Amino acid sequence: MPQPNPTEPGTDRNPRYTVTADTLVAVDLSPRVTPRPRLRPRPRPRGPYRRLLSLPGARAFTAGNLLARLPMGMFSVSAVVMIAGTRGSYALAGAVTATGLAATALVAPWIARLVDRHGQARIAVPATLFAALGSLALLLCVRYGAPDWTLFAAYAATATTPNLGGMSRARWNHLLDGDPAALHTANSFEQAADELCFMLGPVCAAFLCGTFFPEAGTLAGAVLLVAGVLTFAAQRATEPPPHPRPTAASPLRAPGLAPLLAVCLALGAVFGATEVVTIAFADERGHRTAAGVVLALQAAGSGAAGLLYGAIRPSGPAARRHPWCVTAMTALLTLPLLAAAALDSLPLLAAALLVSGTATAPTMVTTMALVQERTPVARLNEGMTLAVTGLLGGIACGSATAGWVVEHASPATGYMVPLAAATTALLVSLTAARPLGGHGRPQRPRHQRRADRCQWLCDRSGVQERQ
- Complete domains list, the chain, with CATH: 51-243 (1.20.1250.20), 253-436 (1.20.1250.20)
Mean pLDDT of 139-153: 91
pLDDT the model gives residue 453: 47
Q: Which residue has the higher pLDDT, 194 or 249?
A: 194
Q: What's residue 278's pLDDT?
A: 83
What DSSP designation does 378 have?
A: G
Local confidence band at 62 (pLDDT 50, 70, 90 cut-offs): very high
Report the C-alpha gap between 459 and 454 in whole angstroms.
Answer: 9
List the single range of 103-112, 382-391, 457-466 with lowest mean pLDDT.
457-466
Q: Check: CB of residue 352 under 8 Å from CB of residue 335.
A: yes
- What integer pLDDT is reported at residue 5 of this predicted model? 55
Average of pLDDT values for 11-27? 50
Q: pLDDT tens-digit profile of 114-128?
A: 998 888 989 999 999
- Alpha-carbon distance of 302 to 328, in angstroms, equals 13
Work out the average pLDDT over 27-42. Answer: 55
Sign of the C-alpha dihedral computed for residues 56, 59, 62 and 64 taken in this order = negative
Q: Under 8 Å CB-to-CB from 209, ≥6 apart: which residues?
A: 77, 78, 81, 82, 85, 215, 216, 217
pLDDT tens-digit series, residues 178-211: 678 888 888 888 888 887 887 788 778 878 887 8
